[in-house]
Amino acid sequence: MADSSTCLPLVPQSVTDAHTKIKEHIHRTPLLTSKTINDIASSPDPAIYLSDSIANPSKPFDSEHTDGVPKFNLFFKCENFQRIGAFKARGAFYAITRLIDTMTLPVLREKGVITHSSGNHAQALSLAAHTFKVPSYVVMPQISTSSKVLGAKRYAKEVIFSGSTSHEREAAMAQVQARTGAIFVPPFDHPDIVLGQGTVGREMSEQFQELLVDEKAQLDAVLSPIGGGGLLAGIATWFSDKETTVFGAEPSFQGADDAKRGRRAGSRITSVRSLTIADGLRMPVGLVNWEIVRDKKKVEEIYSVSEDEIKMTMRLVLERMKLVVEPSACTTLAVVLFNPDFRRLVAESQNGRPWNVGVVFSGGNTTVKIISTLFADDDASPKEKS
């Protein structure tokens, strides 16, 4: 990775600079709205409404008891339509262009880049490297599913298998680096990655203003998933000089809510062992990202949601919005629908008009197989069984 001393500072202008660099290589993904989801989110109790039935007219959207009910206009940033199916393409492209700037392209082409990841980052890095004819090496655990291996192989020069422990993985990486001189590009914990992911926030600002035909309009709030923290840190950096309040969303299952717990404890939690279905959010917040994520001035609050809430949200997005999103991406809307603290805060903060809330759908890399496993014997759709 480019030496941190050469990185731009983590301020909004640096996100703009990153955006200029990567714009031509990424998709400007759409910012979508849904009247149905607004109605459901703005009902007194979306949880009861959804688990009971999707369209039960005896429980109308507009209850007469609207005191304390938050009202939402939601704006969905669809990074599931991003290249490789997730926002990770942004950070990866920015990382590669930064390496080219600092090392020159011929040198980078000789050395190549390397990462360890079984998911979206490896595919994103390989795609970005491939675009500039830079060789990429991906270290993956031997137990990776073959679809992930195939995904990585599509653009990588080489996929190297290792054992599953971090020790085995690092040994495998060191071996490849000794042989090739490949530069390590970490999946989330680096200023360049943060600035690249921050372009999600910048596009949301632009697109919200375009939708409202008002170049001064600002979202009231934005919700981003948080795992390693690159995306949330980038988005919080972008909005740090704006009126928009930034929130994080993470799964609570088996302690995956490390960012929330770390903020309460006053120190970063460095180890998480969770098998949450939101598999992009299983790792603890990175060190660089923690400095932004912990900062109340940049991230107002972090909320967590249960596995069932993530699943109900995923079902809603698939069936009503007709969008394929991965479980990690659903944590944000799940907070809007189900988290009582967030909903109370919105109800108390809004002055007679709905809050305009940006909701980041971070990716869509799931499969029909995974959907089948998640919903095959599911009582989240009880009415289908009767």
Catalytically active residues are: 88, 118
Give the count of beta carbons closer than 10 Å to the beta carbon of residue 113: 27
The least CB distance from residue 187 to a copy of itself, in Å, is 20
> In angstroms, what is the minimal distance from the CB of 316 to a copy of itself?
10
Tell the burial category of 138 from Cβ atoms under 10 Å away from its Cβ (0-12, 13-18, 19+): buried
Q: What is the dihedral of CA 142, 148, 153, 154, to 10 degrees?
A: 180
Smaller CB distance to a copy of itself: residue 268 or 315? Answer: 315
Closest CA to 344 of 44, 25, 7, 33: 44
Q: Which residues of 328-355 are buried (b: 16+ CB within 10 A; e: fewer)?
A: bbbbbbbbbbbbeebbebbeeeeeeebb
- Scan for tokens 């009231």, then name that residue: 220
Shortest Å, Cβ 361 to a copy of itself: 9
Residue 64's contacts (CB-CB under 8 Å, 6 or more residues apart) are none
Instruction: Pick the closest to residue 360 from 241, 239, 232 (CA basis).
Output: 232
* Cβ-based nearer residue to a copy of itself, 14 or 136: 136
CB of 166 to a copy of itself, least distance (A): 26
CB neighbours of 306 closer than 8 A, spacing ≥ 6? 251, 252, 253, 338
Grouping H, G, I as helix, E, B as strand and the rest as coil, residue 319 is: helix
At CA 81, angle to CA 77 and CA 82, rounded to 5?
A: 90
Is 55 or 213 the residue whose CB approaches a copy of itself more closely? 55
Instruction: Using CB under 8 A, list all residues that contact a copy of itself.
Output: 53-57, 80-81, 85, 145-147, 150-151, 153-154, 314-315, 318-319, 322-325, 364, 366-369, 371-372, 374-376, 378, 381, 383-384, 386
Q: What letter represents residue 227's amino acid?
A: G
Least distance in angstroms from the C-beta of 31 to a copy of itself: 13
